[in-house]
Structure 1
């Protein structure tokens, strides 16, 4: 039983590490991204990038900014093998990338990674990524746009204050953003707010 509990705890920490990574890359939070890798990590994305952690951190956000105006990374199907302080994991990945033109790419692939549990500071062992190899598999080009694109705070307020959320022919009616504002690729995103608070406390028109 102790071994089974230990395995579940280790697995949870590894999956949590990947959740921190995807949040970090989508919010352009360099420190959060850094917290998921060991300083001597080797990171490879086919022939696009191959290098160490600091070079990767310097490359990743400018690479996304140059090609895309919005993106989301999703990791699923975590297959993890753990032996002692080393784990090998395969994480399926779905990525939505919206070009500056508005075209949206939906791609899939896998992260093949070696995690290692270390305690370099003597403050408690933790799992981080030591080796990453990204394996792309499929990609599709789609028409798409951001939720609530082009809405001003005033128009957003009117949509939420109206009885039906907007007229049927209003393009903003399609998935309007919450009153607390659109997704942002930095720490001004509402997900950084703690505690989250009630909706009225986050409304743009009451800010």
Structure 2
């Protein structure tokens, strides 16, 4: 194999590994899987989500607590752009994050709505600006900065009677979600 092709293949593999980390982080958030989220960060990594700024090792339990107030979330990640520079990389990835926040879990307080608010549906769009490093042959995030571009909030219109739809499979936190049978977190 010629040198240029070998370099291009290495870049492709590095970008794929970085992309997988970005996707696994979204899965970890939506499945409330703290151990999986932790695998995406180097031990000394930092995170800036606006309302949280600090060490990623402190961010993981903090965000899990925030997620415990939500019935369900779904983060859709796309437009992943990655620039490699040796064992360092930067990336920008777009996200659209859906959140169902039950009234009894403080939807009104969390979203700034009235104290007696109904269940709330909040959608936010933004981007993750990540810095990665390859240490000991493994890519991980060294800093994540969440940039928020827009959001919308409304009363939830979900009408599914989940108890009556007993043949349907609904998303659940890890490890009880159906996806963990198909795609375990261990690689």
Q: TM (normalized to structure 1)? A: 0.74
- How far apart, CA to CA, are the structure 2 residues paired with 1:137 and 1:195? 31
1:92 corresponds, among 86, 91, 94, to: 94
1:112 is paired with a residue whose SS is: strand
How far off is 1:195 after superposition?
7.7
Structure 2 match to 1:23: 27
Structure 2 match to 1:173: none
Unaligned runs of 5+ in 1: 120-124, 158-177, 197-207
Q: Would you say the 8 A contact 1:148–1:182 is kept in 2? A: no
Distance 1:103 1:52, change over 3 A: same
1:192 corresponds, among 166, 180, 185, to: 180
Matched, 1:111 2:167: no
Q: Give the structure, 1 or 2, with the largest relative contact order (CA under 8 Å, sep 6 or more).
A: 2
2:77 corresponds, among 71, 75, 78, to: 75
Structure 2 match to 1:201: none
Q: Would you say the 8 A contact 2:45–2:57 is kept in 1? A: no
Unaligned runs of 5+ in 2: 104-118
1:182 is paired with a residue whose SS is: coil
Structure 1 match to 2:113: none
- How far apart, CA to CA, are the structure 2 residues paired with 1:9 and 1:195? 20
Matched, 1:134 2:146: yes
- How far apart, CA to CA, are the structure 1 residues paired with 2:183 and 2:132? 31
Q: What is the number of equivalent residue pairs in this alignment?
A: 165
1:54 is paired with a residue whose SS is: helix
Distance 1:36 1:150, change over 3 A: same
* Per-residue CA distance 1:40-74 (angstroms, 9 max, x = gap): 0010111x0011122111101111223x2111112
Structure 1 match to 2:11: 7
How far off is 1:143 after superposition?
4.4
- How far apart, CA to CA, are the structure 1 residues paired with 2:143 and 2:13? 21
Q: CA RMSD in A?
A: 1.9
Q: TM (normalized to structure 2)? A: 0.82
Matched, 1:50 2:53: yes
2:32 is paired with a residue whose SS is: coil
Structure 2 match to 1:38: 42
Give the structure with higher Rg (CA).
1
- How far apart, CA to CA, are the structure 1 residues paired with 2:130 and 2:161? 36
- How far apart, CA to CA, are the structure 1 residues paired with 2:135 and 2:7? 19
